[in-house]
């Protein structure tokens, strides 16, 4: 069931989203060769706490294996849900960051992909294309149109890159994962989009195949062929005659 949000709820979600983007603006420059990914997570936990929020990812998921961090850090062949640890970022790594904030019950979700130092040209191109896929998907998110237009637009822009099919965007705002599912290719239920829908659009795009596998930690998603992957995400709100990106643009 899709929970439509009223203007007051959207205002709360917007505040949560603005806070999250403000955090990323400080976090992204910290992604540099030599930095341990667990230090980024520690920084995020402290920042969110000081800002009066709660990390939306920490403790999320199955009771026997909840997500153990405030931030996902997915490097190179890791697609999403990489768990921060002692691994150090290296020159040329493609580093996806994904986080969310619960601010007074309003949930935001945003992901960016950062090139540590100088990345190879084909990696830089993948990253730019994936961000573009996100904006093409957002342009297709319009009241009155069908939801799968988003996935159609993402896949069209992705061209010969591998779009990940096994994970998708989602409704968000009062919980981290709400209905509907928002796939990055046209597949599954295709409801009409309408005013009051708040969704996270999040293309995951790979240099090689779109196929993925999950590691033994039951979280880390990696590409099946070991090639590099990028991930960009915004939380957006759909109104009667326009769509607003609630999180801020980040490069
Ligand atoms: N953006 C991620 C997603 O929608 C956030 C979930 S990570 C989790 O899948 F750890 F919280 F599950
Ligand atoms: Co998400």
Q: Is-contact 195 238, C-beta < 8 A?
A: yes
Q: How far apart are CA 42 and CA 127, in angstroms?
A: 26
What pLDDT was estimated at residue 64? 97
For residue 69, the ligand 1 atom closest to its alpha carbon is 10
Percent of the chain scoring above 70 in pLDDT: 100
Distances (CA, A) of 58 to 63, 74, 200: 12, 16, 18
Point out the ligand 1 atom lying closest to the alpha carbon of residue 109: 1
Beta-carbon contacts of residue 17 (< 8 Å; ≥ 6 apart): 108, 110, 235, 246, 247, 248
Question: What radius of gyration, in Å, describes the C-alpha atoms of the chain?
Answer: 17
Can you count the helices (H) and strands (E) in the chain? 4, 17
Q: What is the distance in A from the centroid of ligand 2 to the CA of 233?
A: 7
217 within 8 A of 80, measured Cβ to Cβ: no
Band (pLDDT 50/70/90 cuts) for residue 251 is confident
pLDDT tens figures, 171-228: 999 999 999 999 999 999 999 999 999 999 999 999 999 999 999 999 999 999 999 9
Q: What is the pLDDT of residues 54-82, one digit of tens each?
A: 999 999 999 999 999 999 999 999 999 99
Tokens of 153: 């637009």
pLDDT per residue as tens digits for the range 76-96 = 999 999 999 999 999 999 999
Question: For residue 121, what are its two tokens?
Answer: 């040209």
How far does residue 171's CA lie from ligand 2's centre (Å)? 9
Does residue 250 carry a pLDDT above 90? yes
Q: Which ligand is nearest to the CA of 96?
A: 1
Note the pLDDT of residue 55. Answer: 98
Residue 39, beta-bridge partner list: none
| Rounded Cα distance, 147 and 248, in Å | 22
pLDDT for 127 beyond 90: yes
Structure tokens given for 111: 């992901």
Q: Tell me the whole-structure pTM to 2 decimals.
A: 0.98
Mean pLDDT, rounded, for 13-18: 98
Query: Residue 240 burial (CB < 10 Å; 0-12/13-18/19+)?
Result: exposed
- The answer to whether residue 16 scores a pLDDT higher than 90 is yes
In order of 37, 67, 251, the CA distances from 174 in angstroms are 28, 19, 27
Closest ligand 1 atom to 219 CA: 10
Q: Closest-lying ligand to the alpha carbon of 221?
A: 1
Q: Which residues line ligand 1 (CB under 6 A)?
A: 57, 60-61, 67, 72, 81, 98, 109, 111, 170, 176, 202, 233
Contact between 156 and 182 under an 8 Å Cβ cutoff? The reply is: no
In angstroms, the Cα distances linking 9 to 5, 108, 249 are 6, 12, 22
User: 7-245, what's its fold?
Assistant: Creatine Amidinohydrolase (3.90.230)
144 neighbors 114 (Cβ within 8 angstroms): no
- Distant-in-sequence, close-in-space partners of 121: CB < 8 Å, separation ≥ 6: none
Atom index in ligand 1 nearest the CA of residue 98 equals: 1
pLDDT in tens, 99-126: 999 999 999 999 999 999 999 999 999 9
Q: Average pLDDT over the chain, rounded to whole?
A: 98
């Amino acid at each position: 069931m899709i929970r439509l949000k009223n203007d007051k709820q959207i205002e709360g979600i917007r505040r949560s989203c603005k806070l999250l983007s403000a955090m990323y603006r400080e976090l992204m420059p910290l992604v540099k060769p030599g930095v341990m990914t667990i230090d980024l997570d520690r920084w995020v936990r402290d920042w969110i706490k000081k800002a009066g929020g709660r990390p939306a990812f920490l403790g999320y998921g199955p009771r026997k294996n909840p997500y153990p961090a405030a931030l996902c850090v997915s490097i190179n062949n890791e697609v999403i849900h990489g768990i921060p640890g002692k691994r150090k970022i290296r020159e040329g790594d493609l580093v996806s960051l994904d986080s969310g904030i619960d601010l007074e019950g309003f949930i935001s979700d945003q992901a960016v992909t950062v090139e540590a130092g100088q990345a190879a040209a084909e990696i830089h191109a993948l990253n730019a294309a994936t961000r573009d896929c996100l904006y093409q998907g957002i342009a297709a998110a319009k009241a009155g149109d069908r939801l799968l237009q988003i996935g159609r637009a993402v896949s069209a822009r992705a061209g010969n890159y591998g779009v990940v099919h096994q994970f998708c965007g989602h409704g968000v705002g009062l919980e981290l994962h709400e209905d509907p599912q928002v796939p990055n290719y046209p597949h599954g239920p295709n409801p009409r989009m309408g005013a009051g829908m708040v969704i996270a659009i999040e293309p995951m795009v790979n240099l090689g195949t779109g196929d993925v596998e999950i590691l033994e930690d039951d979280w880390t998603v990696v590409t099946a062929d070991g090639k590099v992957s990028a991930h960009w995400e915004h939380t957006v709100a759909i109104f009667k005659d326009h769509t607003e990106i609630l999180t801020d643009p980040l490069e």
